[in-house]
Amino acid sequence: MIEVHNLHKRYGDKVAVEDVSLDVREGEIFGILGPNGAGKTTTVECIEGLRAPDRGKVRVLGLDPLRDRDKLTRILGVQLQAGHLPERMRVAEALELYSSFYPAPADWRELMHGLGLAEKAKTAYGKLSGGQKQRLSIALALVGSPRVAILDELTTGLDPQARRDTWDLIAGVRARGVTIVLVTHFMEEAERLCDRLAVIDAGRVVTVDTPAGLTARVRTGQRIRFRPSRHLDDELLGRLPDVTAVTREGELVVIDGNDHALNAVTAFLARNQIVAERLRVEQASLEDAFVALTGKRLDPH
């Protein structure tokens, strides 16, 4: 559906995209994950035809985003990172207006109902909540019946509940047969929604893999957290053959070890008549994989 090969873009002395190559398959949710300033938005703006790359090749369903812009706008839906409508424009007015731009639009009334905006049909854009504005932005991206939708930082600024509601909407969009490119810096969002991920850092693609494939690249052991019911000698825990590290987080004991660490630790606690309260066992996460690949952590805000 989308082919990007050796994309390069600079602004003056600043290189925004150094060398990006990726391919998006039909019907998938393809995530682009990276910190702010990594080149994510510039990459998708080149795919959308909003930026002209300095060099490299971009094709969307075989179309050149710059040369074939008129054809591309009929098959590509876009939700920009920073998009706004006139404050007094009503929801229904916006959808009806946008639908008039396309030769074969979707039924905007059906979209409005399907995305939970029917009760806000006569509400001005400036009166909508953040979550409602995001729902409207999705509807506007879909009103042209696109085959591909690009959603850039869709849930930034939303509260946790609104973010999860929006995730459900995105899954519903894919169920309609739309291929989605999702730009994000939220680990949970990427892990929950994406079939594959391109990790971008400093204008380059570090790797492309499934979320599970990325996490499989980092430590295969376990991290165990618990609050001991009474005094516990950390040094004795650290001597267990399956334990690699013992640290403290306040009243919690945090143990890193191999796949047998949990059995070793619980057996040790039982022998010493110590109860592991608030016990939690963690496997490697997508964030662990990102840190291992880039040496950085993402800002969750």
- Asked whether the predicted pLDDT for residue 31 surpasses 80, the reply is yes
Query: In terms of Cα–Cα distance, which of 93, 139, 99, 97 is closest to 116?
Result: 139
pLDDT digits (tens, 9 = 90+) for 225-259: 999 999 999 999 999 999 999 999 999 999 988 88
* Kind plus residue range of the DSSP H or E element containing 184: strand 179-184
List, for residues 187-212, the tens digit of each pLDDT value: 889 999 999 999 999 999 999 999 98
- Percent of the chain topping pLDDT 70: 97
pLDDT for the residue 81: 72
Query: Is pLDDT above 80 for 70?
Result: yes
pLDDT value for 172? 84
Distance CA 280, CA 263 (A): 13
pLDDT of residue 235: 92
What percentage of the chain has pLDDT greater than the value 90? 62
Q: How confident is the model at residue 52 (pLDDT cuts 50, 70, 90)?
A: very high
Query: Angle CA(147)–CA(109)–CA(123) in degrees, nearest 5?
Result: 115
Chain segment 123-161, per-residue pLDDT in tens: 999 999 888 888 898 889 989 999 999 998 877 777 787
Would you state the pLDDT for residue 62? 95
pLDDT for position 219 = 60
- Residue identified by tokens 């952590």 is 297
pLDDT of 114 reads 82
> Is 165 or 10 the better-scoring residue by pLDDT?
10
Query: pLDDT tier at 300 (50, 70, 90 boundaries)?
Result: low
Which position has the token pair 């693609």?
A: 205
Half-sphere exposure at residue 18, Cβ-oriented, CA atoms within 13 angstroms:
9
Using pLDDT thresholds of 50, 70 and 90, give the confidence band for residue 216: confident
pLDDT for 299: 58
Give CA 30 to chain center in angstroms: 9
What is the spatial distance between Cα 215 and Cα 197, in angstroms, rounded to a whole number? 12
**Tokens standing for 72?**
């591309």
Is the confidence at residue 55, as pLDDT, over 90? Answer: yes
pLDDT, position 96: 96
pLDDT at residue 35 is higher than 90 = no
Region 10-39: mean pLDDT is: 93
| β-bridge mates for residue 55, sequence order | 8
Q: Where are the beta strands (DSSP E) in 250-294?
A: 252-257, 276-282
Q: Give the chain's mean pLDDT.
A: 89
pLDDT of residue 83: 75
Residues 6+ apart with CB under 8 A from 9: 15, 16, 17, 39, 42, 46, 51, 53, 54
3-state secondary structure of 237: helix
